[in-house]
Amino acid sequence: MTRWLDLNDLIAIRQLQRRGVALDLERAVLWPHSPLYAAFAAHLPFSPFGADTIILYPPAGRGRALGLIQVRQRPRRPEADITFIAPALDAREDAVSIWYRLLAECTQHIGERGGQRLFAQIAGGNGIEDVLRQSGFGVYAHEDVYRLADRPANVAKTNLLRRQRSRDTWNLMRLYGQTTPRPVQIAEGMLSTEEQGGKLRNWWDPSLGSGYVLPADRELAGAVRVQRGSAAYWLRFWLHPQAHDHAETLLRNAISLLWAAPRRPIYVSVRDYESGLRAPLEDLGFRYLYTRSLLVKHTTARVKEPFIKLVPALEKRAEPAASVAHHSNQ
């Protein structure tokens, strides 16, 4: 069921957040916040980190909460990201079974709201990926995360990059198609024309960052999305396969966009199929942090009629279910 947070829910979130797992590094470094604050922020307009909260209670709702999961809808996309889950797998013996139930409830919750894909981002190891795989998630890419403590002193303001415009839509889609393997495009839902509608220019911007492009002749040599947070900045690059000689120019000019901004750490994420960026990043002083896995679970799919008729049978349960409370911003 979906309802507003009550006192018991707030107590449960506060207790469980101390031994959970954060799965949204971007917002964790851009806008540091707790799961409790994210639950409150879900009801605030224009909040960058509000999240729907699902709390798992024992049968009949008696006793302390067993676990919780938080999920954030992506603006203007039929997608959502898992941002937090508790307890951690090593916090209690039955944590894995709790995760399976929470992930199933989360998938149903997103599907009922029209969501078609559920994403998760995790660091390697610690068994989390195995649990997600068993819950229907699949890895579609890996991503290296770099950090720069402060922007270089020799990077000055330039005007080589310009703001992304509506007329860049076609070239941005071409750039995405040229730099992104087809399986990743499928995983990210970019081959579905009915989902793109008239907002193709937002395909790369689920977090409402600012987009800039590096023109080259009649095409784009590259593009960058800049996210400005209260505690850090996050940059995401797209570099044309034939424009590797523009990599350093793209990086330096992207950093120069922050020349007048408060001095804060700068993060950059580079996927495993993206070449030409790692060496320039290290030359500029970026330090490699870790590699994370990007996973997706499709909540809906087109199937033949006989399979549709079999679905209800899969939802039957042999035992009484634990009580689940959903807290949404809708």
150 shares its domain with 270 = yes
For 241, the 3-state DSSP assignment is coil
76 shares its domain with 132 = yes
Does residue 121 sit within a domain? yes
Q: Is 76 left (phi over 0), alpha (psi -120 to 50) or beta?
A: left
What does the H/E/C string look like for 269-314?
EEECCCCCCHHHHHHCCCEEEEEEEEEEEECCCCCCHHHHHHHHHH
Residue stretches of the chain with pLDDT short of 50: 1-2, 194-201, 203-206, 302-319
68 shares its domain with 127 = yes
268 shares its domain with 316 = no
Q: Compute the distance between CA of residue 90 and CA of residue 211 in angstroms, rounded to an integer.
A: 40
12 shares its domain with 123 = yes
- pLDDT per position as a tens digit, 4-23: 578 888 899 999 999 999 99
Beta bridge partners of 22: 84
Q: Is 200 exposed, middle or buried (0-12, 13-18, 19+ CB in 10 A)?
A: middle
pLDDT confidence of residue 291: 94
CATH number, domain of 33, equals: 3.40.630
CATH number, domain of 182, equals: 3.40.630.30
Q: Which domain holds residue 169?
A: 146-292
pLDDT confidence of residue 190: 80
CB 219 within 8 A of CB 240: yes
Instruction: Count structural domains, the chain.
Output: 2
Residue whose C-alpha is closest to residue 277's, from 240, 234, 229:
240
Does residue 2 sit within a domain? no
pLDDT confidence of residue 320: 55
- In this prediction the pTM is 0.84
pLDDT confidence of residue 208: 60
92 shares its domain with 177 = no
